[in-house]
Structures are given as C-alpha cells and as structure tokens.
Chain A
Amino acid sequence: MEKDIREDIAWAQINKDVLKSLENPRRVYWVILLIAIAMVGVAVGCEIYQYQTGLGVANKNNSHVWSLYIATFIFWIGMSHSGTLLSAILHLMHADWRKPIYRFAEAMTTFSLMTAGLFVMVHLGRLWQVYYVMPYPNERWAWPNFQSPLVWDMFAIATYLSSSVLFLYVGMIPDLAICRDNLHAGWRKKLYTVMSLGWEGTDRQWRNFRITYLTIACFLIPLAVSVHSIVASDFAMSNMPGWHVTSFPPYFVAGALYSGCAAIITLFIILRYVFRFEEYMTLPIMKKLVRLTFAIAMVWTYLNMIEFASVWYGHDQTAKDQLIFKATGAYAPYFWAMIFFGSILPLMLAFKRFQTHLPILFVISILLNVGMWLERWMIISPSFAHGHYPWTWDHDQWPSLVQWGMVFGSFGWFTLLFMVFCKVFPSVSMYEVKEMVYHRSLAQKHKPAVKGEY
C-alpha cells in the first residue's frame, strides 16, 4: 500500500523541516518573488493610467459594460473555494491526507479573495467611492438596493473573506506557538509570540480548539456555496441571453471547486520543490488530489452540458442564437479552447502514469485554469456581443492592453501575497502532520497491513 506519509518521521524532524522553510527556501523562491513583483508593477502602472485617464482606456463600451475585470473577479472568487473544500469538507470527512496540504489551500482562499476584491474596485473606475456599496446610514439617504445581487455579493464576499482569515488564523495558533518556541530573537519571535496568544497546548486549549475549528468548518461550507451562488445570481437573475439559466449557481460552484483544485496542484508542485517538502507533499497525496480534480472536472462538464441543453431546448430564441454565436462567432476559438481545456484535457488525469508525473501535472493544472478563466470570459463577453437588441450584434470588443495588464498583474499580486505568506508562516501544518503520523503509527500497531492500493 502506498503511504500518504511515513509514520516513522520523528516529530522533532517535522518541526525542523517546516521551520526550515521559513528561513531557507531554494533560490528559485526569490526568482518567483521578483517576477511576481514585476507583474504587480505592470498592474499598478495600468491602474494609475486608468485612474488618471478614465475608464475609457479599458476599451469598455456600450454594450460591453463588463469585461475582463469582472471575468477575472469571478475567476479569483472561484479559486478561493478549493481552500474550503480541502480544509473544511475533507476535515469533516476525516480525510487524513488533507493535513499536510490544507494550510496553503486555506491561504490560497484568503489571497484569492483579496485579489478578487481588487477587481471590483478597478471595475468601478471611481474607486474613491467604493464605500457607497456598503450599507450604512448616511446624510445622503442613499441606501444600497438590498434586492440587488451585487449588494448580496458585498455581504457574501466580506463574510467569506473575514471568516476565511479567521479560519486560517485559528488553525495556525498551535503552529505559531511552535515557531515562537523555536526562535530566539528578532521580529519573527515577537510576531509569533503575539499571534500565538500564549498557546501552551493544554488539554483545555485543545478541547476548545477542536470544537471551534470544527464549528467554523461547518459554517464555511455553506458559506462557500452561498458566495458563488450569489456571484452566479449576478448573472442568472438578469434577463441577458446566456445568463438567465437555472443551473448557473451549481455550475459556478463546480467551476470554482475545479479551478481551485487545479490551482492547488500547481501550488503543491511549486511548494514541494521550493521548500523541499517532499516528505510531506507526497506523491500518494498528489494522486488523491488529482483524482478529486478529475471528479470535479467531470461534474463541471456535466453542468456545462446541462446549461447548453437547457438553452438549446428552451423557448428563448435569443439565448439559443447567443449559444450558436459563442460556438461559431468571433469568440469561437476561445469557446472551444474552454471546452478543450475544461473537459477534454482533464481526461489525462484519469491515466495512472500522469497522476504522479509532476512536470506534466504542472502544465496540465495551469492549462485547466486557463480553461476556467476562459469559461468566465465566455460567460461575460459573448452575452454582451449578442444580446437582445440587434444593435449589440456588430459591437465587437477586444479588451485593451490596460485590461490585460491588470489581469496579468493580478496573478503577480496573488503570487506575491502567497509566497510571502509561505515564507513568514508555516505552510505545512506541523501539529496536524504529527497527528497524522501518530494515528498511522497507532493503526500500524493495532491492525494488520491491508494489501493493495486504495
């Protein structure tokens, strides 16, 4: 039987290996960081230009009022869902294999939400008025329209972001105490001392910790589903052709889990190499992750077909025309690329030989996310290019370099936040890995080994 992790790893060694990642990554870490900073520089430059010149430089127009900004916003919101899947859902199911990898998935949730939030502000143009969306009594007597899904978005994303940050932080407290105990001086020592809240691992602390972690996990699962359902409502509750589809909320949730899982594969491979986590981010764990991704890819494919079928067999001729336009019009190459990357390419994940081939998986996982990003773009732009009114039909629009620069920079922003996090905080949960090792060694003692692969 392939082991997710060796049960004979000494606990002191686990501390040592993970703490080493805070100090001594491979040199490629700094290369990644520099590239990320350069990418952020591009986005900042684009934003300054757009801010000074006006939103027109984004090349948005009537009828293309939404474009890459909103597509990328949805993409990043979707990316955040895998952290919840891996951390909360698998935690409730007692899937032990999540333990070495859930911490960075949770961090991914937090940082992708932070990246998504930026796009709302960039899209608004007048970003100094972003607080208008918040419901607070004011002298203007201008309450937001609480019946609008865009306001629900604000509530849902703010709730998800704050809950995810707290979930990440609470889960880290025992590890922060380990960091505190193993450093002798410096700003890190002070940071860990404050953040570990005086944790000593007493039975009282553990007892309350577990129930708290479990409770927040239970809250996060429906919250994650509600967040992406609400984002789907931004579209489905309008009468735009191609958007007014009942299956949009589950379709969005499946897409979110899918892109998130693909991103976890990418980051798994990067972290495993950069921080020398070969002992913890093992190939059997990768195999499980790949199978999970494959399953979700098939769910997404099914929901995609449901969406097409409900439009095709529905009685809305405009929606049907719009679907035909997607598949044969100006956006056809991107539409078919989405189908290829989202539904055909993941079939490679079903082959055993690719499930642990890291270079191939790295490429596939990135391409899957290209497909998922295209999916979001294909939801937005073709609908504006082929709406109810014939005057929209000859209004082709290609996003400007400013928009592309902002999208490009968002990946740098996410990478920057994520890599800094992994350098400052333990990206592998030390206490959970110890629990995993402990439970496995107990099982080893009490049970005969089971033959064959599971």
Chain B
Amino acid sequence: MSKRHLLALFNNFDEAEAAIADLRAANIKGFDMDDLILKSPIEHPEVERVLGDKPIYVQWFTLIGACMGGLLAFSLVSGAQGNFFAQIKGGKPIVPLPPNFILTYEMFILGGVFITILGFLICAGLPAKRSPLYSAKVSEDQIGILVKGDELAVAAFKAIFTKHKALEIQEEAGK
C-alpha cells in the first residue's frame, strides 16, 4: 500500500505534544511512531516525554576525533624530532615530552572539534534536501508534526490533528 505524508501545523507546543500523545495512544494501523517527525523553531527536549528517549552518538565521534587528533600530533611531532638531525640536542631528550604535550593537547582539541562536527552532520542527517512537506512557518513560530502512514491511516491522522486545533494540514502522496 502506498504511503502518504501529512504535515500538521500547530500554534503552540502543548497542542502538538497532546496530538503526538493521542497519535501514540490511538495505535493507528499502518502507522509507526518512529515515522513521526516534530519540526519546531526552537528545541523542545520535552518532546521526549511522548516520543521516547532517542540515543545520541555524537559524543562517540568526539571521543574518537580527540584521541586521533592527539595521537596524530604526537606521532608527527615526535617523528619529526626523531628525524631532525640538524638540531643539536646537547644531551637533552630527542623527544621532549613537556612541549610535545602542549602540541598534542592542541591537536586533541582540534581533532575533537572537527570530528564532532562530522558526527553532527552524520547523526542529524545533514546536509539534506528539504522535504516537500515543509512550511516556512516552522522556522518562525509554529510547530509541525510530519507523519507517514498508509492511506487508511490518513483519516485518523486528520481527526487527531483537527481535534488538537491544527492550523493547517498539508498532504502529499509519498512513496
């Protein structure tokens, strides 16, 4: 059965949250709650009350990026010092740890920042093509709920959205 997309716009977050709670409670056939997307002009962490906790993996990128950055810096600097015969060491260590620690630390941070951004882009699904069901009002002051479900579920979606005073319901046939 072909899937259809619906975007409902709400005036405030409370209405949108109540609509999501109703969608969950209604247990609509042909609709999976994981296919629901909330679009909002600001972050609403409270939405996890009804959508459930979602894992975040960005920190893993941070950890790997920082460690790789530090490791790379230490290897590069120590490798260079180990091969740099022209510099007279005068009995001092060929690979001096205190100054190398400073450079390692800087690259630890640089690696952490760069790979965190990469992780953000991957985890947030960016860059992305804008979905056809999008309203500029979402970046202004309205809350959007985008749902995907079977054709049979559309009537149930609309009923719930209307019940919660949706300002506008956009509809589009999906794949």
Tell me if chain B binds chain A: yes
Residue ranges of A at the interface with B (Cβ–Cβ < 8 Å): 10-12, 15, 135, 137, 141-143, 145-147, 151-152, 155-156, 158-159, 162-163, 166-167, 170, 173-174, 177-178, 181-182, 197-212, 215-216, 219, 222-223, 226, 230, 431, 434-435, 438
A222 touches B109 (CB 8 A): yes
Give the contacting residue for A435; candidates B42, B58, B87; CB below 8 A.
B42
Residues of B in contact, count (CB < 8 Å): 59
| Min CB gap B49→A, angstroms | 12
Task: Find chain B residues with CB under 8 A from A158 CB.
Answer: 110
B139 touches A201 (CB 8 A): yes
B96 touches A147 (CB 8 A): yes
| Min CB gap A240→B, angstroms | 19
A10 touches B77 (CB 8 A): no
B56 sits at the interface (CB 8 A):
yes
Task: List the B residue with the shortest CB-CB distance to A222.
Answer: B109
Give the contacting residue for B116; candidates A10, A146, A155, A216; CB below 8 A.
A216
B128-152 CB contacts (< 8 Å) to partner A: 128-131, 134, 136, 138-141, 146
Q: A166-B117, A208-B56 are known contacts; what are 11 more A-B pairs with Cβ within 8 Å?
A: A10-B141, A137-B80, A141-B84, A146-B81, A155-B103, A159-B110, A202-B39, A202-B146, A204-B37, A208-B123, A210-B45
Bound-state Cα–Cα, A145 to B136, Å: 54
Give the contacting residue for B38; candidates A135, A141, A178, A203; CB below 8 A.
A203
Judged by DSSP, the binding face of A is: helix
B26 sits at the interface (CB 8 A):
no
Task: List the A residue with the shortest CB-CB distance to B43.
Answer: A206
B107 touches A182 (CB 8 A): no
Give the contacting residue for B113; candidates A155, A166, A200; CB below 8 A.
A166
Bound-state Cα–Cα, A219 to B70, Å: 14
Task: Find chain B residues with CB under 8 A from A209 CB.
Answer: 43, 120, 124
Give the contacting residue for A152; candidates B39, B51, B99, B114; CB below 8 A.
B99
Task: Find chain B residues with CB under 8 A from A166 CB.
Answer: 113-114, 117
Bound-state Cα–Cα, A137 to B96, Å: 19
Task: List the A residue with the shortest CB-CB distance to B123.
Answer: A208
| Min CB gap B141→A, angstroms | 4
B54 sits at the interface (CB 8 A):
yes
